[in-house]
Chains A and B, each alone.
Chain A
Amino acid sequence: MENQSGNDAQVADSIARRFMEVVPHADALGMEIVAATPGCVEVAMPWAPEFVGDPRTGVLHGGVISALMDMSCGLSVLCHPSHPPVTATIDLRIDYLRSATPGQRVRARAECFHVTRSVAFVRAVARDEGDTPVATATGTFTVGV
């Protein structure tokens, strides 16, 4: 049983890495996979001056958080035990709870919690090094072609 779940985690991890490796935008933002298990993926990216949305404070632009959310959500669909070969975002809602603290890396943890024949349902939480979340996301994704 433990071997099986260990193996499932390895499969999820290799799927997440294989898909993210080939995404130029993920590379451009410096994203990396923190953890991947079946249906659940955490992606992190560093703070960098070129991603700042408010030059007065140095806070990251919301668009960077969107990219991190979309990436982690899409990967969580691909890592779901039903193993859809491809996926695309249908819709994504992001709630910005607070500003991400300048200088801190941000990580988004996405969970694909339900999959039908055509649609995957996903939610995600983004955090910096503080206790309260920076943003939450809810999305639906296509499954298969």
Chain B
Amino acid sequence: MGLTRESVIDGLLAKVPYFGWLGVQVDRRGDELTTVLPFAGRLIGNPALPALHGGVTAAFLETAALVELVWTAMGDERGGFLPIEQDESMPRLPKTIDFTIDYLRSGLARDAYARGRVVRLGRRYASVQVEAWQENRSRLFAQATGHFLMPQPRD
């Protein structure tokens, strides 16, 4: 039985402990994914404002980038970007090579949303951009670019 993209994204959120701890969710409408970070007190970095910790913003955007990359790679008709071995219930995941975050304004103490775009998908490397917002889709609080190493088929 083949894995569907939907089940892989659900499995990713359920099986990666850190995603559970952070509380990230994925909202899927057709083939468009929005990664959601429900607000929680432990995510605060600046209690005076209060504002999200910069590390939380980074982790959230990196998660959104990975989710979009897995989704896009599994849906790509050229195939083979995310090899799944027969004995595996999940594909091996792309590894982050580097990740650069622009902090455009403070992340406030409320839910946050992020959407990724795979700019380039190759057999070895992928490049992904992410935008994140809170109240207003056109007022981004952070954006990021990351490069990922795609998992290679086993010989």
Chain A residues proximal to chain B, CB less than 8 Å: 22-28, 49-56, 60-64, 66-71, 74, 88-96
Known A70-B53, A92-B58: A25·B18 in contact at CB below 8 Å: no
Contact indicator B20/A66 (Cβ below 8 Å): no
Contact indicator B53/A54 (Cβ below 8 Å): no
Contact indicator B96/A62 (Cβ below 8 Å): yes
> Can you pick out 14 interface pairs between chain A and chain B where the beta carbons lie within 8 Å of each other?
A49-B17, A50-B20, A61-B19, A61-B59, A63-B22, A64-B18, A66-B62, A68-B55, A70-B54, A88-B54, A93-B101, A94-B98, A94-B100, A96-B96
Contact indicator B45/A23 (Cβ below 8 Å): yes
Shortest beta-carbon distance, A120 to chain B, in Å? 13
B17 contact from A51, A74, A88, A89, Cβ within 8 A: A51
Tell me whether B80 is interfacial, beta carbon within 8 Å. Answer: no
Closest to A96 in B: B96
B43 contact from A25, A53, A56, A93, Cβ within 8 A: A25
Chain B residues proximal to chain A, CB less than 8 Å: 15-22, 41-47, 53-56, 58-60, 62-63, 92-93, 95-103, 106
Given contacts A52-B16, A53-B16, A53-B18, 4 further A-B contacts (CB under 8 A): A22-B47, A25-B42, A50-B20, A66-B55
Most chain A C-beta atoms within 10 Å of own C-beta, residue among B16, B46, B47, B93: B46
Residues of A within 8 A of B100 (CB): 91-94
Contact indicator B56/A67 (Cβ below 8 Å): yes
Contact indicator B53/A94 (Cβ below 8 Å): no
Shortest beta-carbon distance, B39 to chain A, in Å? 12
Contact indicator A52/B97 (Cβ below 8 Å): no
Instruction: Give complex CA distance A63, B60 in Å.
Output: 7
Contact indicator B106/A93 (Cβ below 8 Å): no
A62 contact from B44, B46, B54, B62, Cβ within 8 A: B62
Closest to A71 in B: B55
Shortest beta-carbon distance, A143 to chain B, in Å? 14
Known A23-B53, A24-B44, A25-B44: A91·B101 in contact at CB below 8 Å: yes
Instruction: Give complex CA distance A1, B111 in Å.
Output: 51
